[in-house]
A and B are shown apart, each in its own frame.
Chain A
Amino acid sequence: MEFSSLYERLFYQSLRIRLIEEKVIDLYPSDKIQSPVHLSIGQEAVAVGICQALLITDLFFSTYRGHAFYLAKGGNLRAMFAELYGKATGCCGGKGGSMHLAAPEVGLMGASAIVSSTIPHGVGAALASKRLGKDQVIVTAFGDGATDEGVYHESLNFAALHQLPVIFLFENNGLAVHSRMQDRHAFQVLDHVRTYGIPTSVIPEGYDFCKVFEQFQPILNQVRRQAGPQFVEVNTFRYKEHVGVNDDFSAGYRSRSELDAWMRNDPLIHDRRLVEKFSPPIHAEIDDAIEFAENSPWPGREELLTDVI
């Protein structure tokens, strides 16, 4: 695919993620995907802007809301759909599912369903990068719910203490499942991070992949040069329910007007020209991946007890 600008390239990648997840929504009632899904719709630009700046050798630790990160880091689409289908050809042989996508060949180092649990992994991988002279930068992503957890604080401290090449990517959609940050925090996240001596940045326009990329690139360069940790907050908005494929504005914990405000800025909605230009090849790729998944075998009994220890 040829692109005339960075905007087009990143638009294509973001649109690709959205159309893939919209296909997941279409498929979900068929029960072909028998696993919880946490959709990234509305948050695609965060993953795309960040991963555009990363090298393939840089490592990324993801969350259970990880389709966008997997795809943006370069994970294979056929292997993703096969994994969602629970097929042997999936990126984890059908043993992971939506919440545990991995693509170590492109540095996507797995995702955990336990909130905050991969944050220290990013720190540890950064320790290995520094000790072994690998010149990698590690990104560890988490949402605002993770900032409540003890291990998040432990990880910030360790990374700062050892001056490790890790970027804490705070993907802030304002909600831990259905709870708002002001109801959970007696502290300000960024103020608190700075008490560890970790520099912080905020990218408020998380819908704008170009702005995410442009603001993230110099931060990444700084970590690569000087090796110390950085903390980056990107504000974003989850369009769908926490888990599942539906809207949940009728539940009352957030209002439709919040969504409308974000959607007014969403290029994937408003740039109809590019949507129309890029949708056909993306749909063709999705159809191919689904055909691959549908035609792939299930993992057999011999797989049940392999790779245990």
Chain B
Amino acid sequence: MVPDILSTPNPGPSGSENIITYREALWNSMDSALANHANVMILGQGVDDHKGIFGSTSGLAQKYGRERVFDTPLAEEGIAGVAIGAALNGLYPITTHIRVDFSLLAMNQVINLAAKYKYMFGGRFHVPMLIRMVIGRSWGQGAQHSQSLQSLFSHIPGLVVIMPASAQSILRCYDYAVSSHPGPVIAIEHRLMYDLKYRQEPAGSTTQASPFTSYKVRSGNDITIVATSIMVMEALRAADYLAQASGIQCEVIDLNCISHPDKRLILDSLSKTGKLLVADTSWPAYGVCAEVCRFVCEENPALLKAPAVSLGMQLSSCPTAKSLEDLFYPNLHDLSHAIARLVTGKQDHGIPLPDETSFADVYKRFKGPF
């Protein structure tokens, strides 16, 4: 049950692909940013310690010097502001939040300043910077180490928000952010994906101008699943399961750029399938699920042959007890059930469902490759 995430859109010539983990893609992106751009610096709490942001910055301080890769005080707003000032005067700062939740302390600088500096001053300034945030999940991370705040940031004009769901997205998007994008980019990474392996496309296998967009990662005629981050993996697992169990063919779209999704890709897919399921890592209300449904309803609600379905976290804070945590997140059983119901139009669809109830357990065992 290993979905082939790179079967579309641009499979490389056979035998020319490499296997790479999400973590390695992050490290490679950080390494090449430092190697190729003399003005790049990485600053954040613990970027130069023995853990190196889960291995994504390990050894870079030694390799490039502590003037370019350095630890910071625990002062999230101050560091975000320092990064903005540094960007205004010629540096390209990459900052890190080991958990998304800590970025809330930097919200004033991110929303009131970084997002607005270009517009508010009539385009006189640019604030090119990359803010990396990591979503924690499972094993009792609890209410303050597990949030998935993509919609909060995507709500604000001026920010580009990406949620890489593959090594390839990291390699493309981070390089593009550092090399070509003149504004602030927020990258929300998923901790459970760090150890997963992905097939890496050969260089030059894509012709897309900007990777800040969405990708079709599986083709199918029966249902369109729009997913974010690790829910892309889950959607692909469910799709493969249902293809074997029932012949249902799911089309899966990796939203990837939450702030600037490829709406046309989604609408075109819906014109084929007529069924929409949105699977997000966060709460459905006022979030990605709500937004995807909003623009589908505004653009062409007639595309929907059945009511849309949202799948995300339960509407509570994240509980710590495993018995509750397993209920809090949707699992493969829930996802497969939702897909089967939507495709068949029947609550009692009779398709056998996987008995997997703990999402987290799977990712501890399963390492890919995707």
With the chains together, A114 CA to B115 CA distance in Å?
Answer: 14
Interface residue? A306 (CB, 8 A): yes
A110-B117 in contact (CB<8A)? yes
Residues from chain A with a CB closer than 8 A to the CB of B77 are 120, 150-151, 154
| A-contact bits for B90-110, CB 8 A (1 contact / 0 none) | 110100000000000000110
A128-B123 in contact (CB<8A)? no
| A-contact bits for B104-129, CB 8 A (1 contact / 0 none) | 00001100110001111111110000
CB distance from A5 to the nearest CB of B (A): 35
Size bracket, chain B contacts: 35 or more
In the complex, chain A residues 88-130 whose Cβ is within 8 Å of any chain B Cβ? 90-96, 100, 102, 104, 109-110, 112, 114, 117-129
With the chains together, A302 CA to B82 CA distance in Å?
Answer: 33
Interface residue? A84 (CB, 8 A): no
Interface residue? A301 (CB, 8 A): no
The one of B83, B86, B122 in contact with A307, judged by C-beta atoms closer than 8 angstroms, is B122
The one of B73, B80, B120, B125 in contact with A157, judged by C-beta atoms closer than 8 angstroms, is B73
A128-B78 in contact (CB<8A)? no
A124-B84 in contact (CB<8A)? yes
| B-contact bits for A116-153, CB 8 A (1 contact / 0 none) | 01111111111111011010101000000000001100
The one of B80, B109, B122 in contact with A92, judged by C-beta atoms closer than 8 angstroms, is B122
With the chains together, A136 CA to B85 CA distance in Å?
Answer: 13
The one of A110, A121, A309 in contact with B81, judged by C-beta atoms closer than 8 angstroms, is A121
Residues from chain B with a CB closer than 8 A to the CB of A94 are 122
In the complex, chain A residues 161-199 whose Cβ is within 8 Å of any chain B Cβ? 161
A117-B73 in contact (CB<8A)? no
A308-B158 in contact (CB<8A)? yes
Chain B, Cβ-Cβ closest to A83: B122
How many residue-residue contacts, CB under 8 A, span A and B?
152
With the chains together, A138 CA to B123 CA distance in Å?
Answer: 22
A151-B88 in contact (CB<8A)? no
Asked if A158 meets B75 with Cβ closer than 8 Å, knowing A91-B122, A96-B121, A114-B112, the reply is: yes
With the chains together, A258 CA to B72 CA distance in Å?
Answer: 44
CB distance from A108 to the nearest CB of B (A): 10
A127-B82 in contact (CB<8A)? yes
Asked if A100 meets B75 with Cβ closer than 8 Å, knowing A129-B89, A151-B81, A155-B81, the reply is: no
Interface residue? A39 (CB, 8 A): no
Interface residue? B183 (CB, 8 A): yes
Chain A, Cβ-Cβ closest to B118: A307
Interface residue? B67 (CB, 8 A): yes
CB distance from B276 to the nearest CB of A (A): 27
A155-B89 in contact (CB<8A)? no
Interface residue? A59 (CB, 8 A): yes
CB distance from A219 to the nearest CB of B (A): 20
With the chains together, A127 CA to B272 CA distance in Å?
Answer: 53
| A-contact bits for B240-280, CB 8 A (1 contact / 0 none) | 00000000000000000000100000000000000000000
| The 6 nearest A-B residue pairs measured at CB | A124-B85, A120-B81, A154-B78, A93-B122, A121-B85, A128-B89
Not counting A102-B121, A309-B158, a sample of 8 additional A-B residue pairs whose C-beta atoms are within 8 angstroms of each other reads: A92-B121, A100-B121, A112-B113, A114-B113, A120-B85, A126-B85, A138-B85, A306-B123
